Structure 1
Amino acid sequence: METFAELGYDRTSARELARRLGVSHNFINDRYGSKANFWRAVVDSLLAEDQRQRQQLLQAEVDDAERVRAVIVHFYQVAVEAPLVGRLLADEFGQESERLDYLYERYVAPTLELLAPAVERLMAAGRMRTVPMDVLFFAVISPVAALVQLPLAHRLGRPQPVTRESQLRTARELANLIADGLLSRS
């Protein structure tokens, strides 16, 4: 994940991956068949638990507003726990590719499929601002930059050193700001 997040998929070679893993230069192709298959295996291994937890949140018997809030909080907590995932996703979400298709079909669409009915009910009841799903999605995911772009955050006044606890506090503050804004009417 570190290599893909740091270099981007296109600049990451199977040879570079093998070097960083300390394995033979043939390892990726021998074991996974291709760099693309290896990328999918890395992404799946890192997002599997997140996906499981998010599915539980989306299927919990709670008020729709609490469901939306819980998913937002969870998203930012994951960004704290796995900041490289956020960097990788930001890179992949910005370009047309089979990887974007894979991420969308495997992770984004299943989440939206379960979240959309709650969002639609909240909007219809006047409990949530009425916005298109793409606007809502970007309103939630874009602020993750506050959790993964630490050099800029420091220049904007975030104290150093950054700890897991301070990042989780920032994630909670960010989630509350976004959720409160979405779930209020004006």
Structure 2
Amino acid sequence: MTTRPRGRPGQDDADVVSDDVLLDAVLRAFGENGFDGTSVRDVARRLNISHNLIPQRFGSKSSLWYAAVDYGFGKLDEEIVREGKALGDDELVILRGLLVRILELGALQPALLQIINQEASHPGPRFDYLFTRFIKPADAFTESWLDSLAAQGRIRKPPPGLLYFLINHGAGSMFAFPDLAARLNEDAGSAKAASVREQAEMIVGILLDGMLPR
């Protein structure tokens, strides 16, 4: 068996590791360790590729961060649009289904919320980018549904931004921090953990039922 010299790109790296696989690993690294704590060399080691391959594809670590969040949130947006089209015509049913799906997707890729939490704690250009490109549009999307349903008299509209926080930084945190959620479940003596879908549906049910007209 021959070994590859350290620090030199392997001939087959570009064929073996797709951009999707690489950016998924990068997202997890940034989510777990933050921007300053993430090393391109460590990401390459996780994937068993030369560390030179990553900057060859994406440039600096800063450029890599932007590419990773564009990739991660882009996939999330595509899935939400796809889900919305499959939920019929009732706006309240659509909103309920979309919120459940957002929580499910957050459980599949907790790094997205982890990255938001990290960058929001130390605002700067990266947080400005997240807010302008992803957070504000997501909140505006939700608010448009709430405005329409409130105008129909089907819900009591919460204050602006509240549902975003409750879904993402409230309920979403149990999926973004799975070790903490598992410890709490264990301490509660639960015999059987609910599935992600069951938890998401319960969470959304509690939130939306609380907005129904009294």
- TM (norm. structure 2) is 0.70
Q: What per-residue deviation string (whole Å, max 9, x for no partner) do you get for residues 95-147 of structure 1?
A: 31322223233323333343332211223344323333222211221211222
User: Do residues 178 (structure 1) and 204 (structure 2) align?
Assistant: no
Report the AA paired with residue 70 of structure 2.
D
Structure showing greater Rg: 2
Structure 2 counterpart of 1:138, which letter? F
* Displacement after TM superposition at 1:58 (Å): 5.0
Question: Which secondary structure state, in structure 2, belongs to the residue aligned with residue 8 of structure 1?
Answer: helix
Task: Name 1:112's counterpart in structure 2.
Answer: 139
Distance 2:122 2:161 in 1: 16
Taking only aligned residues, the RMSD between alpha carbons, in angstroms, comes to 2.7
1:35-184 superposed matches below 5 A: 35-57=61-83, 62-141=89-168, 142-157=170-185, 159=190, 166-181=195-210, 183-184=211-212
Show the counterpart of 2:40. 14
Q: CA deviation at 1:73?
A: 0.8
Query: Relative contact order, CA 8 A, sep 6+: which one is greater?
Result: 1
Q: CA deviation at 1:160?
A: 7.4
Which amino acid counterpart does residue 168 of structure 1 have in structure 2? R
Distance 1:107 1:57 in 2: 18
Number of matched pairs = 183
Q: Percent identity of the aligned residues?
A: 27
| C-alpha distance in 1 between matches for 2:184 and 2:68 | 33
Report if aligned partners of 1:55, 1:111 keep a CA contact under 8 Å in 2: no
Is this contact kept in 2: 1:69–1:179, CA < 8 A? Answer: yes
The 3 A distance-change label for structure 1 pair 71 and 92 is: farther
Aligned AA (1:146): M
Q: Tell me the alpha carbon deviations over residues 21-44 of structure 1, each in whole angstroms, 9 at most, x when there is no partner.
A: 333333333221211221222223
The question of whether the paired residues in 2 share the 8 Å contact of 1:77 and 1:171 is answered with yes
Alpha-carbon distance in structure 2 between the residues aligned to 1:161 and 1:12: 35
The letter for the 2-side match of 1:156 is L
- Alpha-carbon distance in structure 2 between the residues aligned to 1:20 and 1:12: 12
Aligned equivalents of 1:8, 1:140: Cα separation in 2: 22
- Aligned AA (2:172): V
In structure 2, C-alpha distance between the alignment counterparts of 1:161 and 1:27, rounded to whole Å: 44
Amino acid in structure 2 at the alignment position of 1:71: L
- TM-score normalised to structure 1 length: 0.79
- Tell me if structure 2 keeps the 8 A contact 1:51–1:107: no
* Whole-angstrom CA distance in 2 between matches of 1:157 and 1:113: 34
Amino acid at match of 1:75: I
